[in-house]
């Protein structure tokens, strides 16, 4: 059963109003870098002109120069690929959902090439909250659950922790939510 929108909003508001702390160990960005501690809350949604590519088992799952990224305080950016740039024939819908306090109810996808299954490797927002309507049906991929994700020619590193899907590149500095001791961020 899908929760009603007012139920989702009420649950999301509890998360939004939770106290957050800024660590003393914030790294100052160097030339050409961004600090995740300069990203806003609520998150900023922006277009990405650089090529974004995702691979599994030697297959290109997604390839686009029209991705969107979400930049939120304490987290590496999460990249969302438009649905027409994704090999949707390799996606298998999962039954579970989660709630993002900003974007709404997410659904999850396995990625399968017929022999290998990457469980819950992608997620999307079929009906995001109005502030993030541009994300409708775009897919985000967990870098730790597929073989490789790239921004431009740089292979990204996964955000720490089993829950988060941020993409770490040399252009961003942390510390990042998901590392031990970051539960209050």
pLDDT tens digits along 153-169: 999 999 998 889 999 99
Please say if the pLDDT value at position 107 is more than 80: yes
pLDDT given for residue 143 in this prediction: 98
**Share above pLDDT 90 across residues of the chain, in percent, rounded to a whole number:** 79
Please say if the pLDDT value at position 17 is more than 60: no
pLDDT given for residue 22 in this prediction: 72
pLDDT given for residue 5 in this prediction: 63
Gap between the Cα atoms of 21 and 105, Å rounded: 25
State the chain's mean pLDDT as an integer.
91
Does residue 74 contact residue 133 with C-beta atoms inside 8 Å?
no
pLDDT given for residue 14 in this prediction: 57
Residue 175: asked if its preceding bond is cis (omega within 30°), the reply is yes
Mean pLDDT check: name the lowest of 9-23, 93-107, 133-147. 9-23
pLDDT given for residue 19 in this prediction: 53
User: Which two tokens mark 143?
Assistant: 């870098």
- Burial environment of residue 49 by CB neighbours within 10 A (0 to 12, 13 to 18, 19 or more): exposed
pLDDT given for residue 21 in this prediction: 67
Beta strands 78-81 and 52-56, pairing class:
unpaired
**Across 20-49, average pLDDT:** 91
pLDDT given for residue 53 in this prediction: 98
CA dihedral 83, 93, 150, 175 (to 10 degrees): 120
pLDDT given for residue 23 in this prediction: 79
**Across 69-73, average pLDDT:** 96
Please say if the pLDDT value at position 18 is more than 80: no
pLDDT given for residue 182 in this prediction: 83
- For the domain 5-16+33-173, what is the CATH code? 2.170.150.40
29 versus 182: the higher-pLDDT residue is 29
**Across 73-94, average pLDDT:** 97
Residue from 174, 9, 185, 147 nearest 76 by CA: 174
Please say if the pLDDT value at position 128 is more than 90: yes
């Amino acid at each position: 059963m899908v929760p009603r929108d007012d139920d989702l909003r009420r649950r999301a508001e509890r998360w939004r109003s939770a106290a957050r702390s800024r660590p003393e160990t914030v790294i100052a960005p160097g030339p050409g870098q961004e600090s995740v501690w300069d990203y806003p809350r609520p998150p900023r949604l922006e277009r990405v002109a650089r090529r974004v590519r995702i691979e599994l088992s030697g297959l290109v799952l997604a390839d686009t120069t029209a991705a969107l990224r979400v930049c939120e305080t304490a987290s590496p950016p999460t990249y969302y690929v438009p649905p027409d740039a994704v090999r949707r024939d390799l996606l298998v819908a999962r039954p579970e959902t989660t709630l993002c306090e900003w974007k709404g109810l997410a659904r999850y996808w396995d990625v399968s090439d017929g022999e290998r299954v990457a469980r819950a490797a992608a997620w999307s927002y079929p009906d995001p909250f109005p502030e993030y309507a541009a994300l409708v049906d775009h897919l985000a991929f967990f870098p730790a659950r597929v073989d490789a994700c790239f921004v431009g020619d740089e292979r990204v590193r996964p955000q720490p922790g089993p829950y988060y899907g941020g993409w770490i590149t040399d252009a961003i500095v942390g510390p990042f939510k998901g590392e031990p001791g970051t539960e209050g961020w």
